[in-house]
Structure 1
Amino acid sequence: MPDTRFTPVTGIDSHAHVFSRKLNLVTARRYTPGYDATLLEYLEHLRVHNLSHGVLVQPSFLGTDNSYLLEALQQAPQHLRGVVVVERDVSRDTLNDMARLGVVGVRLNLMGKALPDFREADWTDFFNHIAELDWHVELHRQVEDLPGLLHQLMPFGIKLVIDHFGRPDARLNVDQPGFREMLKLGGSGQIWMKASGIYRLAGTDQQNLKFARSALSMLEQSFGLHRLVWGSDWPHTQHEDRIGFCTVVEQLQALGCSSQLMRSLLVDAPGKLFGFHSGCELSTPGV
C-alpha cells in the first residue's frame, strides 16, 4: 500500500468518481455520462476546499473494468485510495495487485438489482479473501434492505461501509422500514456510514438537509464518532446540473457538526478506515 506518512492529512473526501466518456460502458446501466470527470479536476477540487486526500470509487456504469481508477491511483499514490467493483470469482492475485496500488475495498452497488444470497459458497470464498486483505465491503442499497444484507455479511468479520446515509427517504420519518434496524446494528463496531449524497435522499433540498441533520445525530449515537466519514460524491452523477463541489461542502457545513465530529468525519475516521496517516490539524473545508 502506498506510504502517506509524509503527506499531512488535512481532510479526506471518502467518496468520489473519475471517468471518461471514451471508456467502454456496461450495456445494463442506469446512467450514461455526457462529460469527463478527470483526476486533474478532482484534485483541484480537493486543493480549493482544503482537502488533502480522496477515495475513488468505481462507478456502476463502468462495471468491473477498474483500469481507469487504477491508473488514477498510480498518478497520485500518496493522496488516493480506491474502492473497486469486481466479479466474485476474481483471482487472489488480481486482488493482491490492486492492493499494492492502493485499493482498500470493494463496492457492491445493488441499486436496481435482485438481492444476492451471500450464503452461497462463491460469496463465502470471496468475502474470506476480502477479510484476509483487511479490505472493506461498501454497500449501496435502499435502507429497507440493508439490515438483512448486514446480518448476512457481519459473520464474515469484514469491515462494512454503507453509502449515502443508507439511502433513506427524507420525505419519511426515521421510523421508515430499515432505518432504526440499521441503527441498532451500528453498535457492532463493524459498520461505517458515509455521510454523503444528501441530495440523493428523495426529498426537497430542505427535507433532505433536515433529515440528514437528524440522521447524523442518531448515527453518531449508535455507530459512534469514529464510524462516520464524509464524502463529496463528486461529480454528483444524475444531479450534476444543479449540484457542485461547493454545494456539498455547504451542505456539510449546514449539518451543524461539533468540531470533534467534523474532525472525525474528515480526518480521524476515514484516516483509519482507508489507511491514511493523520499528520496535522483539521483545516475546515471552504467554499
Structure 2
Amino acid sequence: MDPQQPTAAFDTHAHVFRQGLRLARERRYSPDYDAAVDAYLSLLDAHGLAAGVLVQPSFLGTDNSYLLEALGKAPERLRGVAVIDPRTTGEELDQLAESGVCGIRLNLISRPVPPLGGRLWQRLAHELAARGLHLEVQAQQRQWEELESWLLRWPGAVVVDHLGLPAAASLSYPGSAALSRLLAAQHVWVKAAAPYRSAPQAATAMLRNLLRARGGERMLWGSDWPWTRHEEGRDYGTALAWLTAEVSSTEAQRILCANPVRLFGWSARPRKVLDQGAAPA
C-alpha cells in the first residue's frame, strides 16, 4: 500500500461497556449507562471512518471478556487494547492477539509507577515485543520522569495516551521535559485524543507543538468515545473536528490513515480522508 494515496481513516481510541459488568475493586468511576459496540460502529459509519480501536476502560480492570466479545462482533473493523496482570503468560498473550488485541494498556492515573525494570515487567516487555503488541501508557506530570529511562529502552512500540496529559498550556511543568524526550524517540507514538482531560488549552498547545516538530509523524487520533466522566456536551463530530481544524490534508492523511495502518497492521481500503477543516457528517 502506498501511504501517500487516499485510504481509510481510523479512530484509535474508544471504549465499550454495559451496565451489569463486574467492575474493578479499585476504580475512580462507575458508569450508569451502556456504550455498545453497535452504537460505536454506527458512529464510525456516520463519520466516514473505516475502523476503530477499543481500549479496555480502567473500571473493568483486567477482565477483558467484554472487550473480546466486542472485537468478535466486527473483527475486520476492530482492534483492541487490553489491560493485563504482568504475570500473564505468553500463551495467554497469544490468545489475546488471536482475538484482535494489538496492545496492552498501563493506566497510571492515581496509581504508582510499577517497577518496569524488574524481572516480571522485563519478561513481559519482551513477550509483548515478540508478538508485535505495543504498550499504551496513560500517565501525567512527574510520572513521566519515573517512566522515561525504561520506556526509552522498551523493546517494542510505546503509545503515549492523550498527548501525555499536559498540565499547562505553556508546556512547561514538572515532568514535561521527560515527556518531550520520550516523544522524540522513534519507537514512541502519541495519541491526540481527549483534550478535555488535560489542563485548559494544554492539549491543543501540545498538538500544535508536535505538528510543528514532526508534522504528524507517529501520531494517532482517537475520539475517546463515549467520553467517560466528560459526556455532557460532547459529540463524535466535535472530537474529530478538534483534530481536522489543526492539521493540513497531508497531516490528516498521515494521522488518520497511514500511521494507524502502520502500527495496527490494518489493510486499508480506499476512502477519501476528510479535507482540512471540513465539517464531519
* Equivalent residue number for residue 105 of structure 1: 103
- Which of the residues 266, 270, 278 maps onto 1:276? 266
- Which of the residues 72, 78, 91 maps onto 1:80? 78
Q: SS in structure 1 opposite 2:11?
A: strand
Q: Structure 2: how far apart are the matches of 1:148 and 1:224?
A: 28
Indicate conservation of the 8 Å contact 1:14/1:54, yes or no: yes
The farther-off stretch of 145-154 and 12-21 is 145-154
Q: Structure 2: how far apart are the matches of 1:154 and 1:169?
A: 22
Q: SS in structure 1 opposite 2:158?
A: strand
* Equivalent residue number for residue 184 of structure 2: 187
Indicate conservation of the 8 Å contact 1:183/1:219, yes or no: no
* Equivalent residue number for residue 198 of structure 2: 201
Indicate conservation of the 8 Å contact 1:9/1:53, yes or no: no
Q: Map of 1:209-248 to 2, 5 A cutoff?
A: 211-222=202-213, 225-248=216-239
Indicate conservation of the 8 Å contact 2:192/2:222, yes or no: yes
Tell me the matched-pair count. 272
Higher helix content, 1 or 2? 1
Q: Structure 2: how far apart are the matches of 1:163 and 1:218?
A: 16
Q: Note the C-alpha offset of 1:239.
A: 0.5
Q: Which amino acid aligns with 2:219?
A: L
Q: Note the C-alpha offset of 1:121.
A: 0.9
Q: Map of 1:165-180 to 2, 5 A cutoff?
A: 165-170=163-168, 172-180=169-177
Is the aligned partner of 1:252 residue 2:243? yes
The farther-off stretch of 154-163 and 215-224 is 215-224
Q: SS in structure 1 opposite 2:84?
A: coil
Indicate conservation of the 8 Å contact 2:27/2:59, yes or no: yes
Is the aligned partner of 1:152 residue 2:142? no
Q: SS in structure 2 opposite 1:225?
A: coil
Indicate conservation of the 8 Å contact 1:192/1:223, yes or no: no
Indicate conservation of the 8 Å contact 1:9/1:276, yes or no: no
Q: Which amino acid aligns with 1:262?
A: A
Q: Structure 1: how far apart are the matches of 2:100 and 2:82?
A: 11
Q: Structure 1: how far apart are the matches of 2:213 and 2:107?
A: 24
Indicate conservation of the 8 Å contact 1:169/1:201, yes or no: yes
Q: Structure 1: how far apart are the matches of 2:199 and 2:67?
A: 29
Q: TM-score, normalised by structure 2?
A: 0.91
Indicate conservation of the 8 Å contact 1:106/1:136, yes or no: yes
Q: Which amino acid aligns with 1:261?
A: E
* Equivalent residue number for residue 286 of structure 1: 280
Identical pairs, percent: 38
Indicate conservation of the 8 Å contact 1:54/1:81, yes or no: yes
